[in-house]
Chains A and B, each alone.
Chain A
């Protein structure tokens, strides 16, 4: 025991401390305060990340239940389960929930949990903003669903085209609910994007140069930039829509110089990158899982990273392909066709790198890898139908039919949900300290894989047979009922596969095998700490000398010493070569992010009913923000 430890010296460092003593001191300063009130103040990225993941999955379940309702309705001709009006709400709620409350947030949630661990730091950058982001997301999601329960659920489709969503065709509050839900979720997403960018730029462990950053972290960095540059567009769109509806502006009112195509441009300028905001993190997960289960570093690291970046750039050149049927100038349409096809190139390159990794490695076929293989199969099919609809003449034919519904479920579920479930199997041990059951996992995979195809493949054919999307029913003469019944059966089985996943989680939480630090023998830093990680993540910040640090070190982790054990401190390093230069304080827990989120919610929800909420809603937000930033005299604040 060192003497320094007992002295109440102002600046106690970790240099001379024993492991156990160090751990105890770090725990004291980094833990989340106890009690339920304490838990509301948490700024630990793992606590917030876990909440984020669970909430996003809860929305997946809700969105999935709506999907099951739709499939029940469509299982046969002229069924009467859902009224036309309710059906409109249900498909809109399904699409909006899946896109805005599940797919994007769940990816960000994984980043919130894992990026700080993977780059070897103790908390995310701007941890209070992170807490605020979570609360805003939660309140926005609840707001949408509560409105739906009161029969004010949006019914204008997940992209809310004007003029259908303008006041004239949609009196009442349904479209306003949609627009404000957008605002909530975009604020939350933008906040996380800022945190991820700064965490990756400045908080990487010593020596984690750009070419040693784990692929998932790269993927989340690219995604965060997409969020930063794409989401402002939808915020402008949803705000102008609500202004048209509320205070009589004329953005989309043709009679007064407005223009409805403006909406489509604003929406798809965001909406197409949105697809990649969902898909790029999925590919990041795939790269991590493949490397671990092939037992070798991923082949073509540089190609993969450059492909991610290229995909990010190209995704902004694609938005117009959702608007081919609006009558664009010929040359414009050709250009967008070309770029739609071009974006297949970087994705193709990545697939080759993954195949090479598996080829050259010694693959171990555990559940996470199975889901990745499922991803390959489904995603390639989705890509094929994608290249088809990228061509203008085909798009003209199948636009707004079930062919498109099939295509985007192949891409979204194949490209994002399969890797995501694989990621759950892969990282569950880290988050909880226990393994998921492998036996149930296999059942889970095969059920999901087969039933997915049963549910969605027939939709291609239905689309070619002319079945339009967004119809609440069809007549028997159309001859669509057999395929629809098949699709519905598949849909129900696909839903059951998620019930299996949940069962696996619940059972394994209680009695799963203990995981240990690194159950898969993986190479990245999140596996260098215990499972679940302690509040401070690493008792000492790692020094990285290799792209796969845990495979290079031979069971030994080089670390730095010299950080404070009296206040929350993170190490900042230079962007390119990760040379440490500052020991920066990291904020302590605070209730203010929650209060700010509540004030923000009152403002947003109030603005649906009266423009005056801008006047009376602002001061509470300002007060909460001052509370948030005002120093409390803690050691973190006073340096």
Chain B
């Protein structure tokens, strides 16, 4: 077809932050579908809870300390996470590097705590339906956590190489954004796993 140029986009930037980028919307979509995954898992838990007269079925509830400790770390992690985001928006490479290293260490620490959470569930997955569903929920969140920690580690390394271009700062803010979701997704799971069996 014959074309007529009616407009120029010469001056537009080649990267942006937040909702002005494709990857941010991609992260949103993944948050939606993973959030739905958690919602379904919670629903399955509650369904089994509702159909069983005794809950937990054959075991004591999980020990409280690992989940509670983890929850504290999640909540506090929001602070360095937010700082990392600010540094990234300012294209402050040094700050971003520090922030990412801290976030990587927090992520690894949470994975270690996660090991204790599993060990203190007080029910094996093959004990009964209760054991199955708590392992399932916790494993689902572990996959989610491990993926994000892996992503953070790679990004951290990347920011120490020559590839640390302006566009990568936008990736850092997406990583920050996603971490907030990891934290928010955990809170209802904490209540579900550690407190529902005590009702």
Contacts and interface: CB of A to CB of B under 8 A. Distances in A.
Interface of A: 13, 15, 19, 125-126, 190, 193-194, 197-198, 201-203, 206, 228-229, 231-233, 235-236, 239-240, 243-244, 247-251, 253, 256-259, 262, 265-266, 269, 517, 528-529, 539-540, 543, 550, 553, 555-563, 569, 571-572, 580-585, 622, 626, 629-631, 633, 637-639
B166 interface: yes
A225 to B, nearest CB: 8
A556 B1 contact: yes
B22 A639 contact: no
A572 B20 contact: yes
Given A13-B10, A256-B128, A559 B3 contact: yes
B159 to A, nearest CB: 12
A229 B31 CA distance: 11
B7 A235 contact: no
B154 A201 contact: no
Contacts of B12: 562, 571, 580-583
B59 to A, nearest CB: 11
Contact of B22 (A15, A198, A555): A198
Interface stretch (B44-52, B80-88, B181-189): B44-52
Interface residues of B, number: 55
Contact of B3 (A240, A539, A572): A539
Contacts of B158: 630-631
A247 B167 contact: no
Interface stretch (B64-72, B92-100, B132-140): B132-140
B115 interface: no
Nearest to A126: B26
B60 interface: no
B57 interface: yes
25 contacts: A13-B10, A125-B22, A193-B29, A194-B29, A228-B29, A232-B34, A235-B37, A236-B44, A247-B125, A248-B125, A251-B129, A251-B133, A256-B128, A256-B129, A257-B52, A257-B128, A266-B40, A553-B1, A556-B2, A562-B9, A572-B16, A572-B20, A572-B21, A630-B154, A637-B163
Contacts of B129: 249-251, 253, 256-259
B24 to A, nearest CB: 9
Contact of B21 (A206, A235, A244, A582): A582
A198 B29 contact: yes
A265 B40 CA distance: 10
A125 B26 contact: yes
Contacts of B132: 240, 243-244, 249-251, 258
A3 to B, nearest CB: 17
A259 B51 contact: yes
Contacts of B8: 15, 560-562
A249 B9 contact: no
Contacts of A232: 33-34, 36-37, 39-40
A130 to B, nearest CB: 12
B195 interface: no
A323 to B, nearest CB: 14
A638 B161 CA distance: 12
A364 B195 CA distance: 66
Contacts, number: 200
Nearest to B55: A257
Interface majority SS on A: helix, strand, loop or mixed? mixed
B58 to A, nearest CB: 8
Contacts of B126: 247-250
B26 A194 contact: yes
B160 interface: no
A582 to B, nearest CB: 5
B154 A629 contact: yes
Contact of A236 (B25, B41, B51): B41
Contacts of A622: 150
B91 to A, nearest CB: 13
A556 B3 CA distance: 6
A556 B6 CA distance: 11
A571 B9 contact: yes
A276 B128 CA distance: 36
Nearest to A622: B150
A584 B167 CA distance: 10
A639 B21 contact: no
Contact of B25 (A19, A201, A228, A639): A201
Interface string B143-162: 00000001000100010000
A622 B132 CA distance: 27
Given A249-B129, A561-B8, A582-B13, 19 more contacts: A13-B10, A193-B33, A232-B40, A233-B40, A253-B129, A257-B52, A258-B48, A553-B1, A555-B1, A556-B3, A557-B1, A558-B4, A558-B7, A572-B21, A572-B22, A582-B15, A585-B14, A630-B154, A630-B158
Contacts of A235: 37
A540 B29 contact: no
A633 B44 CA distance: 46
A269 B197 CA distance: 26
Contacts of B13: 581-583
B130 interface: yes
A633 B162 CA distance: 9
A206 B7 contact: yes
Contacts of B9: 560-563, 571, 580, 583
B5 interface: yes
Contacts of A562: 8-12
Given A236-B41, A250-B126, A572-B21, A256 B2 contact: no
A553 B1 CA distance: 10
A108 B195 CA distance: 42
Interface in B102-142: 125-133, 135-136
Contacts of A561: 5, 7-10
B32 interface: yes
Given A202-B22, A243-B136, A256-B129, A581 B16 contact: yes
A559 B47 contact: no
B57 A582 contact: no
Contact of A262 (B36, B47, B135, B163): B47
7 closest Cβ contacts across the A-B interface?
A257-B129, A249-B132, A562-B10, A232-B37, A562-B9, A248-B126, A194-B29
A190 B133 CA distance: 24
Contacts of B14: 569, 582-585, 639
